[in-house]
Structure 1
Amino acid sequence: MSFDPDAQPYFDKQKDRRVCFITGGNSGLGFYTVLHLYLHGYIVYIAGRNRQRVEVAMKKLRSEALIRRANQNAHELENRHLGELKFVELDLCKLKSVEHGVVQFKRQEKRLDLLILNAGIMAVPYGKTKDGFEVQLQTNYISHFLIADRLVELMQDPDVVKDPRIIYLSSVGHWFTPFPFKLSWQYNYWPNIVFTWFRYGMAKTAGIQMIRSLCKRHSNILCVAVHPGFVMNTNLFSHFTRLPIIGLFFWVMFQIFGWLFGVSNEEGSYSTLRCGLGADLTAAKDNGKYFATFGVQEKPSWTARNIDYACESWAWTVQELRKRGHEIEN
């Protein structure tokens, strides 16, 4: 392991206020991302669709933070201040809910230092949201596109926000579609157990393309994509492990793979934390990059990093959102 979150900068909210907005911060590796940001003094807004679940998670986060601080010495406690945890109601499967959640956040904050587009689903059966998008595409990409568009204005004033950053949580699974594609492709074919991975890969590739486009439009903001590593003990695989008969096979396979190659939820958060807290990263030299396990820089697929395909995906997304009444400036 080459990354130590405790070695990253700490902030005092009374002297140097730092605000983070994160989707899916109440479970999995998102939980540990929030935990460390909270320990580092960030005011963290956790966007989720279920208030009760997020509030339970926030209670656990505060408890875990106190346990960890109990192991710190007097000098560390004096210089390391806890931040705050807040809830934003937001359902990624409903664009109106996304808009509403963003408005609620803007009523409370006039700045945003760190935007983490973390939430996602993986390898689920084909289905469409009420907005008419394939469910993985909207959850993993389109709703995050809309969030970034709506919140980027809070990251623009250099006198208020000194080091703005946007992090998109992608996946090694984006390699499932390493070839050029159109976001209108549905991959709604039998067997779902195969084509669900194409849909997942397409959504995660589109997220990396979004980062490539954002860093061109907002060169003052550090925009990066990350792959957390093989985090096997999350609920992302629940669909496969619950399948009749073969579900047990997948469960055993995932357990073995996780034992050989996997990382824990907390270790999985390190790539995000590296990009969110690392003082050595700057927009001038690191914009548009892709970081893998423990924050090690890697190259995504050719399709993901190709700026022409990124522009095509951007244009398609803007057009589709406008059709549904969600105006995008550019």
Structure 2
Amino acid sequence: MPWTTADMPDQSGRVAVVTGANSGLGLATATGLAQRGATVVLACRNPARAEQAAARIGGRTELLQLDLASLDSVRAAAAELHRRHERIDLLVNNAGVMIPPHQRTADGFELQFGTNHLGHFALTGLVLDLLREVPGSRVVVLGSLAHRIARHGVNFGDLQSERHYSRSRAYGQSKLANLMFMYALQRRLAASGAETIALGAHPGYSATELSRHLPAALQLANRYAVAPFAQPAELGALPTLRAATDPRAMGAHYYGPDGPFEVRGFPVLKATAVPAHDEVAQERLWTVSEELTGVHYA
């Protein structure tokens, strides 16, 4: 039988933080968790849109200002979470940007790598103490089919795309980095005896606002040739919700749609590309990420 939100166990009493929860997959994820009784912290860059999302979701929601493209904002958000909560049961690293023109974050990082990977790396490290002693706690990292674009692995020689910038290559690299981080984090959590596990998920091809940065010609192609095949965000969020709540899920599990080419369908266990499993590269990325963000995991 397909796994749906009807299979989600009761989430009452759990505190869930969802980044980028004001629209698309994040909104659908936050809604699913709230409907099952969780207190959901909507960690969003735009406060006005977060308020609108909270009104749509209903239930127990909180707003948290978070701009993953600014390490100052990440640190402030982490400090605020410590002020509000003694524990967190679930951190969903969902927010991201996809194939924008070449831009830099407030700290000078290439926007996609800095937002999608480094911002979440820093946030997770800064709030991990709120999770690690909580039974059943989880960190869920949102991957993408696009991680397969980076088939040669992370380009450590040009990590910030200073020599050459390809929108799609930089996006694929950032999503590969997300999954490498997930595996390395799970390895550390297991070795330390923490209660927390780290898992991944990808939404297939879902109708969200991520395509807004496509060049004009690709916008037209997407609208008329590709978008009709996209699944709604509510279905695209199911792999994340399964990783977040399925009692049978284990550390380093990775969920995605069961349909052809993993584009759409119901969530099942999936495999990641070979470069994501390179432990030497994972450890190099971890060290570089600590150096760039200044966040060192205990």
Q: TM-score, normalised by structure 2?
A: 0.90
**CA-to-aligned-CA distance 1:10-62 (integer Å, 9 cap, x gap):** 143xxxx1001110011001111111100111011011122111001111112
2:262 maps to which residue? none
Counterpart AA for 1:289? H
2:63 maps to which residue? 87
Find the partner of 1:128 among 67, 79, 104: 104
Tell which structure's C-alpha radius of gyration is larger.
1
2:139 maps to which residue? 166
**CA-to-aligned-CA distance 1:237-275 (integer Å, 9 cap, x gap):** 11225x3xx25xx32344422323x21110000000111
Counterpart AA for 1:256? A
Segment drifting more, 266-275 vs 181-190: 181-190
Q: Do residues 175 (structure 1) and 139 (structure 2) align?
A: no
**RMSD over aligned Cα, in angstroms?**
1.7
**CA-to-aligned-CA distance 1:188-247 (integer Å, 9 cap, x gap):** 567x6xx1111001111001010111111112322111111101x221111225x3xx25
Residues 138-149 of structure 1 aligned to structure 2 (within 5 Å): 138-149=114-125
Q: Do residues 2 (structure 1) and 39 (structure 2) align?
A: no
Q: Distance in 2 between matches of 1:299 and 1:43?
A: 31
2:169 maps to which residue? 198
Q: Do residues 212 (structure 1) and 188 (structure 2) align?
A: no
Find the partner of 1:308 among 261, 275, 280: 280
Shift of 1:118: 0.2
Shift of 1:90: 1.1
Find the partner of 1:36 among 32, 38, 44: 32
Q: Is the 8 A contact 1:167 1:225 kept in 2?
A: yes
Counterpart AA for 1:226? A
Q: Is the 8 A contact 1:111 1:155 kept in 2?
A: yes
DSSP 3-state at the match of 1:218: helix
Residue segments in structure 2 that go unaligned for 5+ positions in a row: 258-265
Q: Is the 8 A contact 2:20 2:45 kept in 1?
A: no
Q: Is the 8 A contact 2:122 2:295 kept in 1?
A: no
Task: Call closer, same or farther: CA 1:7–1:188 in 2, change over 3 Å.
Answer: same
Q: Do residues 115 (structure 1) and 88 (structure 2) align?
A: no
Q: Distance in 1 between matches of 2:226 and 2:57?
A: 29
Q: Distance in 2 between matches of 1:186 and 1:207?
A: 15
Q: Distance in 2 between matches of 1:31 and 1:164?
A: 21
Shift of 1:154: 0.9
2:51 maps to which residue? 55
Shift of 1:3: 1.5
Residue segments in structure 1 that go unaligned for 5+ positions in a row: 63-81
Q: Distance in 2 between matches of 1:327 and 1:203?
A: 18
1:299 maps to which residue? 271
Counterpart AA for 1:7? D
Q: Is the 8 A contact 2:19 2:44 kept in 1?
A: yes
